[in-house]
A and B are shown apart, each in its own frame.
Chain A
Amino acid sequence: MRLWNFGKGFFIAEIREFEVLFWSLVFPLILYFFLSAILGSVGKGGAPSFELGVIKSSTNSMEAIAIEKTITAVSDADQPFKATIFSDLTSAVDSMKRDKLDVVVIHNEPASEASSKPPIEIHFISGRESSEVAANILEIAFARANLEIAKHSGQEFRELSSEAIPLKISAKSKSIAYKDYIFPSVALMMILSVALFNSPLSLSFYRSSGTNKKLFTTPLKPMEYFGAHLFKLLATMLISLTLLYAMAGFIYRVKSGIFSAAFIGTLFLAMLTLVSFGLMIASLSRKESTAGILGQVCYQIMMFMGGFFFPVFGLPWGIRWLVYMLPTTYLVELLRRAMGVTSAPIGIVWLISVPMAWLILSAVVFSMNFRKVMGNE
């Protein structure tokens, strides 16, 4: 009863903190919305809009007509370009350099009737992504125009068929929507945030402020204090997960196995492993500031190098070893496997044993420093 009362009080005190409330409960929902809204449409077409500067030729040659038709075709309504006519190349390129245009196309006239026809020039800004993409699209449009001209010239024309095939690591792996795919990453980010920030920071704060010492003058035992701390973390994570599940279920209609026993079981493994990791951070940090720094470094590395958002197995070996060391690499993959998706070339034994190894190592380090962390030396 004492444990329950203390745990409940501990949790209420924690959740009243605006920072805890926001970062643990509200932020994961905002993040889920952002990621689904921004990245959910990648690879599904969409209509990018590029500003195209055109310097027209004054001739009525066949080339000039073909160019004009191509430019009209790519700058019609619902097409990717918005064309603006310029009188000279210098002003158009200047405009492009000032980021008013993405790409410039010019059809130079031959110096004389006898001289060879100069090529169409596509001018773009090196390294500026929108400019390079616009130049690529325009180049393809002209290449297709050449093929269409050849097709209609009466010569025999053999078309090629093509298809794009997504590869899955396992034949059993399903293709799922991005809003489903990103769910494990957002859930793990929330667990990471509670385990690596809330837990070590609050333990360090209560220790350094002397609150623990005062508490231990009462009949409260260090193990009861620790139990209440775990209860508080678990309650925060469960409330946050409930909100995330509600958003995924009712708003995004995520169905890909997030309610399965394997998925929920993996979430509990993740909670145990990462909370244990956070306790290890607390036991290695003398001060609150050290706990904050260690937590932040581990959080960023575990999130970005753990493959939450980007494929990480193509990184050079100089840094890829880190990917294989992190528990989150295995946990996020295990969650995805529970959804029927295989995205990393790792056997199931490793997916379970590496997080377990971290769990045991962290628990051992923490238990060796238990009295120090509890401020009961």
Chain B
Amino acid sequence: MNRSPLISLVVATFRESLRNKAEIFFNLFFPLLFLLIFGTLQSGGDAYRKTWMGLYQSGDQDIQNVIAQSGAWEPKIYSTEKELQEAILSGEINLGLSYNGSHARFFYKDDDLRTQSKLSLAQMSIIAALEKQNNKVKPLLRINRIPHSAGRMMASGLDYTLAGIISIAILSTGMMSVVSMFGRYQKSGVLNQLRIAPLKPISFIMGSTLSRIILSFISLLLILGASVLILKAAFVINWVLLAITMISSTMGMMAVGLLLNLVFRNPETANTAAGILMFVMYFLAGVFFPAALLPGYMRAFSAILPLKYVSTLVRHSLGLELISGSQFALISIALTLGGILMLWLAGNRFLSSKRH
């Protein structure tokens, strides 16, 4: 029985992808490597448990309870100030407090930017708690902190970071795979051969991109598995929505990749432009550094990048933050339509016999 050209092409390009070690690595294992590096680096700031604050007390007063109740800190006692400082320098703890009953000295490592960003808040909250206890202040204003879930689960900071990495993996697989594939086909002359084959441009484009969607799906399963099993992410996944997110986002990012291929005729230039775009999105995703540290103009700039919209869909599908059904549908449809439009344009541009 003769297979349709579309299915034959999907099978052929998928087999070709499996034989291409570089493509398999960059689509499947590179996002995994990235997830493991950043997941491990950032799991120290996990909100599931309190962060250690080293404490050395030289006065009569025991302030362990004050620290434990003042915020997100768990006191860890050291018997001398030197021992406390050594613990900070060795990386055992990030922040230390030496207290003698009238003066508080907060220690941190001078190149630790993450702790520096939290330092003034920690200092103010602990001093306020100590002054309250020392002066037996009966607070007029009593505070009750109430955490909410914006989704189907009570998320931690690490869950948000992992969702950011997953979004980036989807973006990267969608965009980079078409940029490298078309670059390769252009360079090796495969596109010229296909132009004279009895194949509709749209069939070729659909056939070759469907195999990328399958690869993208495998990549997503791998990084989700690593997030949940190794890094203990608490995602509550809606698999149907996740599948829609994955397909629409991959299509949307393929559209961006194809646009780069159309704008930059030289495959190397298109590849470099894709690399720059990915670099900018890595920065704005809050993976390298907390997004709250980014200047306002950069956060505003991120609104025009696809990352923002893919992240919204991913967070919704993983249960971190819910959006309305119509919003989900609108973003997914926009990404998918963008993908289809670009696929059609690219098909005509690359395989049109007029260009031959």
Contacts and interface: CB of A to CB of B under 8 A. Distances in A.
A129 B290 contact: yes
B212 to A, nearest CB: 18
Nearest to B323: A98
A126 B30 contact: no
Contacts of A150: 135, 137-138
B253 to A, nearest CB: 20
A313 B92 CA distance: 8
Contact of B20 (A42, A159, A178, A289): A289
Interface string B259-272: 00000001011011
Interface stretch (B8-16, B114-122, B201-209, B345-353): B114-122
Contacts of B33: 297, 300-301
Interface stretch (B152-160, B171-179, B220-228, B335-343): B152-160
Interface stretch (B102-110, B185-193, B237-245): B102-110
Interface string A77-111: 00000000000000001001111000000000000
Contact of A66 (B90, B117, B141, B148): B141
Given A160-B127, A167-B109, A122 B144 contact: yes
Given A18-B266, A161-B102, A136 B37 contact: no
A347 interface: no
Contacts of B1: none
Contacts of A62: 140
Contact of A124 (B110, B121, B148, B294): B148
Contacts of A126: 47, 147-149, 154-156
B3 interface: no
Contacts of A319: 40
Contacts of A146: 132, 137, 139-141
B53 to A, nearest CB: 13
Nearest to B71: A136
A371 interface: no
Nearest to A316: B40
Nearest to B30: A296
Contact of B105 (A41, A129, A163, A316): A163
Contact of B148 (A97, A142, A161, A173): A97
B135 A314 contact: no
Nearest to A135: B145
Given A38-B294, A146-B139, A165 B106 contact: yes
A93 B148 CA distance: 8
Interface string A161-177: 11111111100010100
Interface string B273-313: 00100000001001011111111101000000000000000
Contacts of B229: none
A311 B157 contact: no
B130 A160 contact: yes
Interface in A126-148: 126-130, 132-133, 135-137, 139-140, 142-147
Given A160-B102, A181-B111, A341-B111, A144 B271 contact: no
B293 A289 contact: no
Contact of B40 (A97, A133, A164, A315): A315
A297 B29 CA distance: 10
Given A144-B124, A166-B110, A167-B110, A18 B134 contact: no
Interface residues of A, number: 95
B142 A120 contact: yes
A122 B125 CA distance: 15
B160 A145 contact: no
A249 interface: no
Given A127-B159, A136-B121, A160-B103, A301 B40 contact: no
A301 B89 contact: no
A290 B20 CA distance: 10
B30 A147 contact: no
Contacts of B89: 167, 169, 345
B143 A139 contact: yes
A5 interface: no
B167 to A, nearest CB: 15
A29 interface: no
B292 A130 contact: yes
A34 interface: yes
A284 to B, nearest CB: 14
B35 to A, nearest CB: 12
A117 interface: yes
A128 B269 contact: no
A159 B34 contact: no
A135 B320 CA distance: 19
Nearest to A288: B22
A149 B109 contact: no
B74 interface: no
25 contacts: A66-B140, A119-B142, A119-B143, A119-B144, A121-B144, A125-B147, A125-B150, A125-B321, A129-B160, A136-B71, A136-B72, A136-B125, A146-B137, A158-B135, A160-B104, A161-B103, A164-B106, A165-B108, A166-B108, A167-B85, A289-B21, A309-B288, A310-B41, A310-B114, A313-B91
Interface of B: 20-22, 25-26, 30, 33-34, 37-38, 40-41, 44, 47, 71-72, 85, 88-94, 102-114, 116-117, 119-121, 123-125, 127-132, 134-135, 137-150, 154-157, 159-160, 266, 268-269, 271-272, 275, 283, 286, 288-296, 298, 320-323
Closest 7 CB pairs of A and B: A314-B91, A43-B116, A127-B155, A166-B110, A313-B91, A119-B142, A289-B22
